[in-house]
Amino acid sequence: MLSVYTDFIRIRFLTMLAYRVNYYSGILIYCMNIGVYYFTYKAIYGDAGSIGGFTAAQMTTYVAVSWMARAFYFNNLDREISTDIRDGSIAIQMIRPYNYVLVKFMQGLGEGMFRFLLFMIPGMAIALLLFPVKLPTDPVAWVGFLVMLFFSFMINTQINIITGLTAFFIENNEGMMRMKRVVVDLFSGLILPISLFPGWLATIAQWMPFQAITYLPGSVFTGRVKGVGIWNVLGIQIIWLVVLLVPMIIIWRLARRRLFVQGG
Amino acid sequence: MMYYLGLISEYLKNYMKSRLTYRADFWVEVISDLLFQATNLIFILVIFMHTDSLGGWSENEVVFVYGFFMVPYGLFSCFVNLWNFSERYIVKGELDRVMTRPAYNLFQIFLENVDPPALVGSVIGLIIMGISGAQMDLAMEWWFIPALIILSLSAVAIYTGIYTILTSLSFFSDAPTGIIPLMYNIQGYGRYPVTIYNRAIQVVLTWILPFAFVGVYPASLFLHREDMRHMALLTPVMGIVFLTLGLLAWNWGIRRYRGAGS
């Protein structure tokens, strides 16, 4: 039974590999985004020593690491699920002897592995050449980061699956998906580290799951959070991973009872 | 000319009819567009909580530039949408249908993809310009409105030129190039004072992919920034040059088009 699911990982990985040329431009896009924020922060820092607890060097690293982490955890599962629901192909998938949500997870994992090997690692190498990024030398930091990165992926994927499944209830969830992307980019700390937010906004951000995707792992990796703080970060990530399972399962249960196909 | 104006109104009527079936969707799209703009604005506001100036530009000035940036961008997104061109028109072969009709093919493609919700962004941009302008005590001068119209249209022409050139590439390559999403990221560079970037990026943004002309240069005219005045006045020239290049590239490319079948 397990091998069925691992096959989904493998198949997705191979599918992605077939279209890998598209990812070369992706690497460039990410380096450009890092560039925009790098130059903007450089202008902000001027002579300032530290802003929001980040030194200029840490900020550069944070920006690069955040975008490269996104290169790994990002996926379009929300769109895939919503398409499956709208064109009705989900009906077929529901009668197959596997769990649809779990299969999506596995496909996401296959895509994640592809992105990790052919997008994030080469992208990181290029970013290292272009920008003064300082990565930690301590192997423990690396192991910790990879573990946290995996949790980032899991949490982001859960959010994507929940967003995708809303297509069961909203006929056209295009706006929902776009909104999710904006909210995730902002509140995950991708475009602005949360410690730079004004107090009230930072408080809101701290009560949302999104910071566990980018900001918390990024803070650890730039060396801003050390020691016991690292365990706190892991704890928060695990809590959100568990908490998000609840709406995901509930929505899926409800959804199966009200499948309503719009065409196909 | 009348013929083309008539076409615009027919297409807009058609758009309204098909959109009214998904009424809620229209507003969702407006709101999600605005949210995206809001994150950019939040970025600027948060940044200025930690600094007084960005490369010699004050918060109000940067916000004003962003407000201006939104005006032509909204117009461009409404009337010129080439995002899915290669997929829809070449891979699926819809270009064959377009080419059998009498109106100019590129014009038809623009019309088939009109996206009026994007115009809300332009309106918000004007409001942002108004608010930040008032905070700077920017006196309203008689030439502001004509200049705003000319500069916005020039900026739209620059966008249209750049994206038409890039889209023309899909006549030469079989696979979607992925170059368009790339540009959407580069244009982000044009929102901030170009002087913060290194020399090479400044040259690219001014002369090669002139995205500085859709934001910071023209906006500096209203802000009375002498350092960029001559660049602002150059905007219409750049608009004409790039629009011409775009149309030339398109006409050259479409002659090579043979139809992908299907």
Provide the pLDDT for residue A106.
94
Provide the pLDDT for residue A264.
47
**With 70 as the cut, is the pLDDT of residue A259 above it?**
no
- Which pLDDT tens digit goes with each residue over A23-74? 788 888 889 889 989 998 988 888 777 888 889 989 999 999 999 999 999 9
As for the ipTM of the complex, it is 0.85
Query: Percent of chain A, pLDDT > 70?
Result: 97
- Which pLDDT tens digit goes with each residue over B16-70? 777 776 667 777 778 878 888 888 899 999 989 988 888 889 999 999 999 999 9
Query: Percent of chain A, pLDDT > 90?
Result: 50
Provide the pLDDT for residue B2.
80
Residues in chain B with CB shorter than 8 Å from the CB of A26 are 178
Average pLDDT over residues A105-124: 93
Residue pair A67/A30 in contact by the 8 Å Cβ criterion: yes
Taking an 8 Å cut-off on Cβ atoms, the answer to whether B178 and A22 are in contact is yes
Highest mean pLDDT among A95-99, A224-228, A245-249, B169-173: A245-249
Average pLDDT value over all residues in chain A = 88
Q: Please, what is the end-to-end C-alpha distance for chain B in angstroms?
A: 34
Provide the pLDDT for residue B178.
67
Residue pair A16/A111 in contact by the 8 Å Cβ criterion: yes
- Which pLDDT tens digit goes with each residue over B1-13? 788 888 888 888 8
Taking an 8 Å cut-off on Cβ atoms, the answer to whether A22 and B55 are in contact is no
Taking an 8 Å cut-off on Cβ atoms, the answer to whether A51 and B32 are in contact is no
Q: Which of A33, A182, A196 sits opposite B185 (nearest CB)?
A: A33
Lowest mean pLDDT among A180-189, B21-30, B140-149: B21-30
Residues in chain A with CB shorter than 8 Å from the CB of B189 are 32, 35-36
Provide the pLDDT for residue A5.
87
pLDDT class of B259 with cuts at 50, 70, 90: low
Q: What is the DSSP string of A154-178?
A: HHHHHHHHHHHHGGGTSS--HHHHH
Taking an 8 Å cut-off on Cβ atoms, the answer to whether A40 and B54 are in contact is yes
Tell me the shortest Cα–Cα distance from A107 to chain B, in angstroms: 23
**With 90 as the cut, is the pLDDT of residue A89 above it?**
no
Residue pair B71/B152 in contact by the 8 Å Cβ criterion: yes
Query: Percent of chain B, pLDDT > 70?
Result: 95
Taking an 8 Å cut-off on Cβ atoms, the answer to whether A178 and B42 are in contact is no
Taking an 8 Å cut-off on Cβ atoms, the answer to whether A48 and B46 are in contact is no
Residues in chain A with CB shorter than 8 Å from the CB of B51 are 44-46, 48, 51
Provide the pLDDT for residue A263.
53
- Which pLDDT tens digit goes with each residue over A138-173? 888 888 889 999 999 999 999 999 999 988 888 778
Residues in chain B with CB shorter than 8 Å from the CB of A179 are 28, 31-32, 35
pLDDT class of A238 with cuts at 50, 70, 90: very high
Tell me the shortest Cα–Cα distance from A163 to chain B, in angstroms: 14
Cα(B91)–Cα(B86) distance, integer angstroms? 6
pLDDT class of A260 with cuts at 50, 70, 90: low
Q: Which of A21, A25, A51 sits opposite B182 (nearest CB)?
A: A25
Residue A14 CA to chain centroid, in angstroms?
Answer: 21
**A176 near B CB under 8 A:** yes
**B34 near A CB under 8 A:** no
Per-window interface: B 158-217 vs A, CB < 8 A = 175-179, 181-182, 185-186, 188-189, 192-193, 196-198, 201
Tell me the shortest Cα–Cα distance from A59 to chain B, in angstroms: 13
Q: Is B200 exposed, middle or buried (0-12, 13-18, 19+ CB in 10 A)?
A: exposed
Q: Could you give the maximum distance between any two Cα atoms of chain A, in Å?
A: 63
